[in-house]
Structure 1
Amino acid sequence: MFAKFLNLNTDKQDRIINAAINEFAQKGYDKASTNEIVKEAEISKGLLFHYFKNKKQMFLFLFDHCIQIITDDFYKKVDLTETDFFKRIRKAVLIKMDLLAKYPDIFKFIEEAYMDDAVDIKVEIEKKVKELNEINIGRIYEGIDFSKFRDDIDIQKILKIITWTFEKLSEETLTKAKLSPNHEIDYPAIQLEAEKYFEVLTKVFYK
């Protein structure tokens, strides 16, 4: 579908991607201007729509592209040989903090995509996010030593409760950010909040 774009030299691809990421991250989907994107990328508008059928297709391509970059880097760094559930999740949170520092523009774009209510993209982004969550939960739980959990509670129920806890934390964080002027997310504060939940959940569910 994107063969023409992917056949471009890397420098030109990067110019277009970076220009589009910045424009969407700053203005959101509806207010983002393809005129500004082509101006920043130093290409013609006709050429942009030669690579992407329309603005929506470009946005969804960028979302998948950004998620892939973060996911690939995350799984290169996360230690899936660590079998202690909470130790692994704690380390995963630290890796995410490192990735945030490494890819600030990409994270800003992804955050805006999560919060964007634009009719053109909302349903498809929500579907993609749901699929990503299901895949990542499966991968991050792989190889965990479940014998450390209490025997008197069904392990699947424990995992659901833990998953729901952090899904709710993420939901509250995004809602709060959406109401702030610049849609800023305070990641250090999230890390501290998550640590409090780790402590409680460890006491409740570990033997």
Structure 2
Amino acid sequence: MFSKFLNLDKEKQDRIINAAIKEFAEKGYDRASTNEIVKEAGISKGLLFHYFQNKKQLFLFLFDYCYELVTDEFYKKINLKETDFFRRMRHAIMIKADMLGTYPDIFKFIQEVFLEESAEIKIEFDRKKSELTHINMERAYEGIDFSKFRDDVDLTKIIKIINWTFEKMSDEAIQKAKLSPTHEINYQAIQAEAEEYFEVLIKCFYK
């Protein structure tokens, strides 16, 4: 679908991608202007729509591009040989915090996608986000030593409780960001809160 764009030289691709990330991250989907994107990228509007049929298609491409970039980077850094569930989860949070410093604009854009309420894209992106969360949960738990968990509690229920705990934490952080004028998520506060939950969950569910 995006072969014309992907055949461009890398420098031109980057200009368009960076301009679009900046505009969508700052203004959200509905308020983002393709006029501002082409101005920032130094191309004509006709050329932008030669590569992407409309703003929605550009937004879809951009989300997939950014999500794939950070996911690939994450799995290059995470130690999947670490079999302890909570040590791996702690490591994952540290990696994400480091990546936030490396790719602030991309994380800001992805964050805005998760906050997005535009009727034009909400249903499609809610489904996409749910699918990606499920896929990454399975991948993140690969090779975990589940024998460390208590034998007298159903393991499936334990994992569900842990997932629900951190999904709820994430939902609360997103809701707070939606109410904030800057839409900023306090990642340091999330990291500190996650650590508190780790301590409780270890006491509850490890032998």
Counterpart amino acid of 1:36?
E
Which structure 2 residues correspond to residues 54-203 of structure 1 after superposition, within 5 A?
54-203=54-203
1:125 positional shift: 1.1
1:68 positional shift: 0.3
Aligned-partner SS, 2:117: coil
Counterpart amino acid of 2:53?
K
Q: Distance in 2 between matches of 1:45 and 1:33?
A: 11
Counterpart amino acid of 2:15?
R
Q: Distance in 1 between matches of 2:183 and 2:150?
A: 40
Deviations 1:68-107, CA, capped at 9 Å, x for gaps: 0000000000000000000000000000001100000000
1:15 positional shift: 0.2
Aligned-partner SS, 2:153: coil
Percent identical pairs in the alignment equals: 69
Counterpart amino acid of 1:139?
R
Which structure 2 residues correspond to residues 17-56 of structure 1 after superposition, within 5 A?
17-56=17-56
1:120 positional shift: 1.0
1:40 positional shift: 0.2
Q: Distance in 1 between matches of 2:128 and 2:96?
A: 19
Q: Distance in 2 between matches of 1:146 and 1:113?
A: 34
1:204 equivalent in alignment to 2:204: yes
1:172 positional shift: 0.2
Task: Report the TM-score, using the length of structure 2 for normalisation.
Answer: 0.99
Counterpart amino acid of 1:40?
E
Q: Which runs of 5+ in 1 are unaligned?
A: none
Counterpart amino acid of 1:193?
E
Q: Distance in 2 between matches of 1:179 and 1:203?
A: 34
1:124 positional shift: 1.2
Q: Let me know the Cα RMSD of the aligned residues.
A: 0.5
1:128 positional shift: 1.1
Q: Which runs of 5+ in 2 are unaligned?
A: none
Q: Distance in 1 between matches of 2:174 and 2:152?
A: 35
Counterpart amino acid of 1:204?
C
Q: Distance in 1 between matches of 2:60 and 2:167?
A: 23
Query: Would you say how many aligned residue pairs link Structure 1 and Structure 2?
Result: 207
Q: Distance in 1 between matches of 2:176 and 2:168?
A: 12
Q: Distance in 1 between matches of 2:125 and 2:71?
A: 16
Counterpart amino acid of 1:15?
R
Q: Distance in 2 between matches of 1:68 and 1:45?
A: 26
Deviations 1:134-183, CA, capped at 9 Å, x for gaps: 11110111111111000001111100000000000000000000100100
Aligned-partner SS, 2:184: coil
